[in-house]
Chains A and B, each alone.
Chain A
Amino acid sequence: MDSLVVSPYGVQAIQVLTILLGAPLVSGVIANVEARFQGRRGPRILQPYYDIAKFFSKETLVTYESSWVFIAGPIVAFACYLTVPMLIPVLTTFPLPLGFTGDILGGGFILALAGFSVALSGAESGAPYAQLGASRAMTFGALIEPTILFVIFAVALITHTDLPYALSATIRSSTSQMVRPSHVLAAFAFFLVVLVDTGRIPVETHSGTLEFGMIDEARTLEHSGPTLALLKWGGAMKQLILYTILINVFIAPWGLASSGRLGSVGLAAIALLGKAIGLGVIFAVVDNSFSKLRLFKITEFIASAFLLAVLSVLVFYVGGG
């Protein structure tokens, strides 16, 4: 098996497949762990797969007033989530051929396009709560944007490029890169960005049913059947993509395959899912240790993320750190 070498394009396809097939598993484990922290038994680990399969077998209902945008939104978003794994280091230490078609900003744009199309589709449903969710998601998305930009600035300053592969390689090169203050700050700022973008406490109760506190969850209230399945699956994929960036670019870029051999690529895929589940447990702990912020207090949370990102760039300029 070790002699079997996969071509770089093949590895790229495996990257997409890992994210596609692994995402519901990661979500399922997190939901289960979270329930256990709360003293419940929790859903089965494979529950998200069953949910998605069930939604696919049902029909999609569309109101008379909604146009094709209502259906197209989830499909475009799903396509976006399939594209991003080609641009980031998911399984390999060496850059893959399509990895250079977009940098961190490019990946960010595609993720933003996905968020935009889901919000548009929610707005098109005509239901008040879905529209409220769409408008809130866009508002907080815009507020978190400066933080993401400063994190990218910090990465660009450290590596002189804005390729995620380059930062990943820089961090692996020595411990001093790992503990340099601008990296620590940027990584922590990105951690907070992931909290906001995956709709976790303290920003949003992702499993709640109370519409008043909803942001991301409310956008999908009106969808049903296969489009809802795409939205759920896409949400799980977005979460795993953000975890992958946080793990393989910022926190722990180890356990990646250094060659295209099938064995090491498969091992890297298992390692990635393991690391993502480990990170997910941390998120579950955060979820259970803090209370949700009031909607108008979220700006304070975002301000502190922004503070970390800006300090990261400042420290780089002053101390070379």
Chain B
Amino acid sequence: MSASPSTYDGVAAVLSLLVLLTEFAMLRAPLLRSQVRLYAFQSLVVTVLAVYVAYSKHIDELYVLAALSLVLKVALVPALILRLLRDANTDLAGSSVVGVASAILIALVVAAFGFFSVGSLQVSSSSLPTSSLAIACAIVLVAFVLIILRSDVVSQAIGFFSLENGVSVASLVVASGLPLIVDIAFLFDLLVAVVVFGVIMRVHHARNATLSTSDFDRLKG
């Protein structure tokens, strides 16, 4: 048998994998509402991962970060988007360019690229296993696939927000001892993005009565 990673590393890697799998589930989700719920769940897993690292490695600052992300990413942001959706009266996400099975296979290839490119960098960290960094890279790349393949504003916004979740996992790996202010700056970035995407959704829906981005190729509204 091959030597297994320690229990701590194993649990941490499984949690980061759960984040990646939620990202894949978003590729599959046909309803905008379920996509937002998946995002809330993904943020919850990232929060749990932060608490797990904080507890095991005794990094107290991470508790503050976890609390902040619980309030913002699990509760506030999804609630805001769901409210915007209620006003927009649209349920289905814009159809993806390719079928679901093909989308998953494409994302799988992209994720494999991320895995091996990061794996060959030989980055090691004291707080989380290297595989978590590779998984974080895969999360970011799959989020890009989601943004590229889906043709509606909400999916693209969710793709962008979940990309931030991937970055959070990466920052937990390489810099869990990072000063708190930097992490909060990340979260603030996210809030700005939420405001920007919210404005885009509102304006776009008010002008074109749709959330699809396929109307954006015309130069004048």
What residues make up the interface of A, taking CB atoms closer than 8 Å to B? 157-160, 166, 169-170, 173-177, 179-181, 184-185, 299-300, 302-304, 306-308, 310-311, 314-315, 317-321
Question: Which residues of the partner chain A approach B14 to less than 8 Å between Cβ atoms?
Answer: 179, 181, 184
Chain B contributes a number of interface residues (CB within 8 A of A) equal to 34
Contact across chains for B100 and A300 when beta carbons are under 8 A apart? yes
- The closest CB in chain B to the CB of A298 belongs to B101
Q: How far is the CB of B128 from chain A (nearest CB, A)?
A: 10
- The closest CB in chain B to the CB of A319 belongs to B131
Main secondary structure of the interface of B (DSSP, over half): helix
* Distance A181 CA – B17 CA, assembled complex (angstroms): 8
Interface window among B4-12, B85-93, B164-172, B183-191: B4-12
Extra inter-chain contacts (13) besides given A176-B5, A311-B108, CB under 8 Å? A158-B2, A179-B11, A181-B13, A181-B131, A300-B28, A300-B104, A304-B24, A307-B21, A310-B108, A319-B9, A319-B132, A320-B3, A321-B10
* Distance A174 CA – B10 CA, assembled complex (angstroms): 12
Most buried by B among A159, A311, A317: A311
Contact across chains for B5 and A160 when beta carbons are under 8 A apart? no
Q: How far is the CB of B170 from chain A (nearest CB, A)?
A: 14
- Is B130 in contact with chain A by the CB < 8 A criterion? yes
* Distance A306 CA – B101 CA, assembled complex (angstroms): 10
Contact across chains for A321 and B100 when beta carbons are under 8 A apart? no
- Is B1 in contact with chain A by the CB < 8 A criterion? yes
* Distance A31 CA – B116 CA, assembled complex (angstroms): 46
Contact across chains for A315 and B13 when beta carbons are under 8 A apart? yes
Q: How far is the CB of B53 from chain A (nearest CB, A)?
A: 16
Contact across chains for A321 and B108 when beta carbons are under 8 A apart? no
Q: How far is the CB of B21 from chain A (nearest CB, A)?
A: 8
Contact across chains for A307 and B108 when beta carbons are under 8 A apart? yes
Question: Which residues of the partner chain A approach B112 to less than 8 Å between Cβ atoms?
Answer: 310, 314
Scan B111-126; emit 1 where CB is below 8 A from any A CB, else 0: 1100110110000000
Contact across chains for A318 and B118 when beta carbons are under 8 A apart? yes
Question: Which residues of the partner chain B approach A179 to less than 8 Å between Cβ atoms?
Answer: 7, 10-11, 14
Question: Which residues of the partner chain A approach B104 to less than 8 Å between Cβ atoms?
Answer: 300, 303-304, 307
Question: Which residues of the partner chain B approach A303 to less than 8 Å between Cβ atoms?
Answer: 100-101, 104-105
Q: How far is the CB of A21 from chain B (nearest CB, A)?
A: 34
* Distance A159 CA – B17 CA, assembled complex (angstroms): 22
Question: Which residues of the partner chain B approach A174 to less than 8 Å between Cβ atoms?
Answer: 4
Within 8 A of A (CB), among B137-168: none
Contact across chains for A319 and B13 when beta carbons are under 8 A apart? yes
* Distance A38 CA – B105 CA, assembled complex (angstroms): 37
- The closest CB in chain A to the CB of B13 belongs to A181
Question: Which residues of the partner chain A approach B77 to less than 8 Å between Cβ atoms?
Answer: none
Question: Which residues of the partner chain B approach A307 to less than 8 Å between Cβ atoms?
Answer: 21, 24, 104, 108
- The closest CB in chain A to the CB of B5 belongs to A321
**A-B contacts, 8 listed (Cβ < 8 Å):** A158-B2, A170-B1, A185-B17, A300-B104, A315-B115, A318-B116, A321-B5, A321-B10
Question: Which residues of the partner chain A approach B6 to less than 8 Å between Cβ atoms?
Answer: 176
Contact across chains for A180 and B5 when beta carbons are under 8 A apart? yes
Q: How far is the CB of B92 from chain A (nearest CB, A)?
A: 16
Within 8 A of A (CB), among B6-59: 6-7, 9-11, 13-14, 17, 20-21, 24, 28
Most buried by A among B4, B7, B100, B116: B4
Contact across chains for A318 and B24 when beta carbons are under 8 A apart? no
* Distance A157 CA – B118 CA, assembled complex (angstroms): 21
- The closest CB in chain A to the CB of B17 belongs to A181
Contact across chains for A319 and B134 when beta carbons are under 8 A apart? yes
Contact of B1 among A166, A185, A304, A306 (CB under 8 A): A166
With A166-B1, A179-B14, A300-B28 as known contacts, state yes or no: A320 contacts B131, CB within 8 Å.
yes
* Distance A160 CA – B3 CA, assembled complex (angstroms): 11
Contact of B129 among A173, A177, A321 (CB under 8 A): A321
Question: Which residues of the partner chain A approach B20 to less than 8 Å between Cβ atoms?
Answer: 311
Q: How far is the CB of B130 from chain A (nearest CB, A)?
A: 6
Per CB-CB distance, the 6 closest pairs between chain A and chain B, nearest first, are A319-B131, A179-B10, A318-B119, A303-B101, A181-B13, A176-B7
